[in-house]
Structure 1
Amino acid sequence: MLLLVLVAGCGDEKPASPSSSPPPARPVTVALDFVPNPVHAPIYLAGDAVKIQKPGSGPDGLKLVTSGKVELGVLDIHDLAIAREAGTDVVAVGALVGKPLAALVAQPDITRPRDLEGRTVGVSGLPSDPAFLQAIVGHDGGDVSKIKQVTIGFNAVSRLLTKRVDAVPVFWNAEGVALKQRGLEAKEFRVEDYGAPPYPEVVFFTSRATLDAERDRIAGALDAIAGGLEAARARPEEAVDVIAKAAETDDRELVRAQVDAVLPIFADGLKLDRAVLERWADFDAEIGLVKERPDVDATFDFSVRAEG
């Protein structure tokens, strides 16, 4: 779901700036979930402890991690739950973004989610979109069956700007910011304001086998990324520089706006919070993202980073 209007290439890339943490004996490869964007700034500022693997033509982090080709990956927490329900033995070992990013972004004349009854909402085709539409509209007392859903792929920004849809489920820190930069005063209905707990949207994950074999190296890489997070907060212009370069974009104004949006909600120390995650597990089951409630102890390893 991390869908930025940034164009990026593929392949391996080394971080641009060292952190204060000593690197492991061998760098840990981190597979990104999407094209480089401000959410990834702490990884790019982690120094020689990590080696970054950009995605190919589509998100391939799960395949790379489960095959053992890379040690660590970045993943949306809901995709983690879906993967585990499908039988993939992966485990989250840290949080990157500590708050929900999902939102229903609507045309300026939509004053509340239930106003979308009788209107058109564009969905990407991902299973999470209808679930979040139901969660937000339903929480506001609306009837989702009265909303026309059309599949638009990953063209949320252009479809809203051309008024071809009335709303889209997206990430407020990405498409939401891009729309404001383009002059559309869109309404944002963030899922956290409509019944969702303050779960960490983006997490670091690995395979169970890799964690058992490389726990110390993974812990060292996360220490370095935590240092990169502090560097991004202390020197936001450096975060803008490294992400603009990695994304191969000249739109520094957009990158800076997106950096400003995400800096306050990075997870302090990359820590996982068990109590919040228990509430998240209830939420994902309630909105139908998974059939069975995720087992928090099996889905997360709280020993790699101290609990928050």
Structure 2
Amino acid sequence: MHRFALILVAFAVAACGSSSTATSTDKEPAAPVRPVSIALDFTPNPVHAPIYLAGNALQIRKPGTGPDSLKLVSTGKVELGVLDIHDLAIARQEGVDVVAVGALVSKPLAALIAQPSIKRPRDLAGRTVGVSGLPSDPAFVKAIVTDDGGDYSKVKQVTIGFNAVSRLLTKRVDAVPAFWNAEGVALKQRGLQANEFRVEDYGAPAYPEVLLVTARKTLEKERPRIEAALAAITAGLDKTRARPDEAVKVIAKAAETDDTKLVRAELDAVLPIFADGLVLDRAVLQEWADFEVRIGLVKTKPSVVDSFEFNP
């Protein structure tokens, strides 16, 4: 999915040690001695609202010409980064020692978004699917179509870059792998009642799509500052839920857009699935690790213990 290559708080071990939890209070959390730098995975959008409402605890870095949060985190140029969970699996397979310390959302955002005439994924046999050109896209198309009993070998794939919305609106493709909370919402705003085949309805566990990551060496060196930054982001999540209108204004300004109607629609879509306390659920992540191998996104099963920090 194209944003796969693209989209925290102190944690306490939950009962039985099966997941990590973060605590928050009505008081403002203590800010780090100096702001913690954090790199976004994509253009500012409502998924990032808790970060933008975290106050002066963070120094936010927007992406350049492409998603670069992983590179910035792994090289130590920033201390935290926003990263798609699938990019974490790929990075660790390649030997990059980054670890996730929290989740921004609690469910997958990935979907195969199709023209209204496509009633289910198996209907894409003989049809055209637009992919970004990144290796993760075909893996997800195959996973969703195959789980629905379709013949993936008969799906025609064309590379369209990151133009999912325009290609669907102009009917140049029958479907695209994209994010239902972003492209899906934008298409509805433009009047296309597309069908969304969400990956968790086709064999995927309810994994947290968007993670907060850091380099292990950074965590070891700056643990108290990372914890303070995570607490501030958790407070930012509370503010986002309590004051969504404020969140819309902040995100619209950061994204340099006047389309606050679209920003609000995207925020409304993601509000119900923000991860409470930025929690990481160990059991779900074990299922996710199996899923990554099953769809061929990585060759070896990711180590949940090594990939996630459950008590930073």
Runs of 4+ in 1 over 3 A off after TM superposition: none
Q: TM-score, normalised by structure 1?
A: 0.93
Separation (CA, whole Å) in 1 of partners of 2:238 and 2:163: 33
Aligned length: 289
Of 248, 266, 286, which residue of structure 2 is paired with 1:240?
248
Match in the other structure for 1:173: 181
Separation (CA, whole Å) in 1 of partners of 2:243 and 2:3: 23
Higher relative contact order (CA 8 A, sep 6+): 2
Report Cα offsets for 1:143-197 as digits up to 9, x if no partner: 1110100000000000000000000000000000000000000000000100100
Per-residue deviation, 1:126: 1.3
Q: Which runs of 5+ in 1 are unaligned?
A: 4-18
Match in the other structure for 2:18: none
Separation (CA, whole Å) in 1 of partners of 2:120 and 2:68: 36
Per-residue deviation, 1:21: 1.4
Amino acid of the structure 1 residue aligned with 2:266: Q
Match in the other structure for 1:230: 238
Of 61, 64, 69, which residue of structure 1 is paired with 2:69?
61
Match in the other structure for 1:257: 265
Computed over aligned residues only, the root mean square deviation of the Cα atoms, in angstroms, reads 1.0
Report the 3-state secondary structure (helix = DSSP H, G, I; strand = E; otherwise coil) of the residue aligned with 1:173: coil
Q: TM-score, normalised by structure 2?
A: 0.91
Q: Which runs of 5+ in 2 are unaligned?
A: 5-26
Report if the CA contact (8 A) 1:2-1:174 is conserved: no
Of 173, 177, 186, which residue of structure 1 is paired with 2:194?
186
2:56 is the counterpart of 1:52: no
Amino acid of the structure 2 residue aligned with 1:269: G
Per-residue deviation, 1:2: 3.9
Separation (CA, whole Å) in 2 of partners of 1:67 and 1:296: 22
Report the 3-state secondary structure (helix = DSSP H, G, I; strand = E; otherwise coil) of the residue aligned with 1:280: helix
Separation (CA, whole Å) in 2 of partners of 1:225 and 1:64: 20
Separation (CA, whole Å) in 2 of partners of 1:117 and 1:64: 40
User: Percent identity at matched positions?
Assistant: 74
Match in the other structure for 2:120: 112
Match in the other structure for 1:16: none
Match in the other structure for 1:221: 229
Amino acid of the structure 1 residue aligned with 2:129: V
Report Cα offsets for 1:87-135 as digits up to 9, x if no partner: 1011111111110000000000111000000100000011111011011
Report the 3-state secondary structure (helix = DSSP H, G, I; strand = E; otherwise coil) of the residue aligned with 2:129: strand
